Amino acid sequence: MPRRPRGAVTASAIASALVLLLALGGCTAVGDGGPGPGEAVAGGDRPPLDEIAVLDDPFGYVGESTALLTDAAIVPVEEHPAQSLPATVESAELGGPQSVTVTDTSRVLAIDLAGSLAATVWGLGFGSTLIGRDQSTTFPGAAELPLATSGAHAVSAEAVIAMRPTLIITDGTIGPRDVIEQLRDVGITVVFVAPESSFDGAAQLARDVAAIYGAPEAGERLAERTAADIAEAEATIDRIAPEPGLRMMFLYLRGGSGVYYLFGAESGANHLIEALGGVDVAGELGWAGSRPMTDEAVIAANPDLILVMTDGLASVGGVDGLLEEVPAIALTTAGQHRRFVDMADGEILSFGPRSAAVLDALARAIYAPDAT
């Protein structure tokens, strides 16, 4: 089966989509990656995806499922790689790239909306330098770090200063951005990396973060490992996914505020759906970025399967609550078949060292939901 094309992703488009999530993120806290409201895919040791019994007819399956990582831990490519400091890198400032020189990486905050930056730091082998975390950083080893952000993914300058960081790495998806920029006034080095929610971006992020640490060789190793793992996962999924693929849609839900957003092209969800062997129905509609869902769009798209975040689905009362609250979804094939696949908020759209594992877990929930 030929590899499906990936669309180009611009940093500004991704930033816009993620800033929208920043504004909505306070409605509920990010979960810990535990079982959600659907039928959980078994954790622990599992046979390879292409060695288990997959659905004969994934279009006709009825029921929801939850995707779980076998092991949420991130294995570094090396512990404490060699560094060459000072390191001068380009920071993705709003007015254009600016050179920033990094001299001290002993106390680092790597914070973004998806938790990808801290995961990348850990994958490089510099996890011991992290002194705090964002709401989405929940993987083992980092989950115990103190929070540097609130439930709304907002940064408090006072709280950050109290942590005494020597370096802040971020991508502008949490903020307010001007607050982070002001931290430079108290002597903290701040480097912005360009956000790109894609699998290619996950490999590039490894190189970018490693350059900040003055460890380009470790960055190349992590980039190569990440890309190879993703390619292997995609090849396996290609062998089991039907052609044409399931029509999939990604919904962002926050029931406490009545928030229902459809993620389209350039949100990262399109890359996820394509890698899972699906058809991005939002892309078919010309839906770009993250926009409020409309009944007309959902009915016109008529997805076979809907991807959601675990906490988001819980916030609307699970599948029953969602179908009751939004009758238009109940009219779709996905709604009629209760075909919802949820995954932990801090995992499903986190493009980084665990991307291949995320794809594997989601593919199991989609194509082999009854496998143990």
Radius of gyration of the chain (CA): 20
Place of tokens 């399956």: 61
Regarding the domain delimited by 87-224, which CATH topology (the fold level of the hierarchy) does it fall under? Rossmann fold (3.40.50)
Which tokens sit at 269?
A: 């969800």
CATH homologous superfamily of 11-73+230-367 equals: Nitrogenase molybdenum iron protein domain (3.40.50.1980)
Q: How far apart are CA 266 and CA 291, in angstroms?
A: 12
List the chain pLDDT tens, one digit each, 372 residues.
Answer: 333 333 333 333 433 344 344 334 433 333 333 333 333 333 457 899 989 999 999 999 999 999 999 888 999 999 999 999 999 999 999 889 999 999 999 999 999 988 999 999 999 999 999 999 998 898 999 999 999 987 667 888 888 999 999 999 999 888 888 889 889 999 999 999 997 888 999 999 999 999 999 999 999 999 999 999 999 999 999 999 999 999 999 999 988 778 899 998 777 899 999 999 999 999 888 877 788 999 999 999 999 999 999 999 999 999 999 999 999 999 999 999 999 999 998 899 889 999 999 999 999 999 999 985
Q: Where in the chain is the domain with CATH 3.40.50.1980?
A: 11-73+230-367, 87-224
CA distances from 288 to 9, 177, 268, 341 (A): 11, 23, 10, 22
Helices and strands in the chain: count of H runs, count of E runs: 15, 13
pTM attached to this predicted model:
0.86
Q: How far apart are CA 153 and CA 176, in angstroms?
A: 9
What is the reported pLDDT for 24? Answer: 41
Q: Tell me which long-range contacts 321-330 makes (C-beta under 8 A, separation of at least 24).
A: 321/255, 322/253, 325/255, 326/260, 326/293, 326/295, 326/298, 327/295, 328/295, 328/296, 328/298, 328/299, 329/298
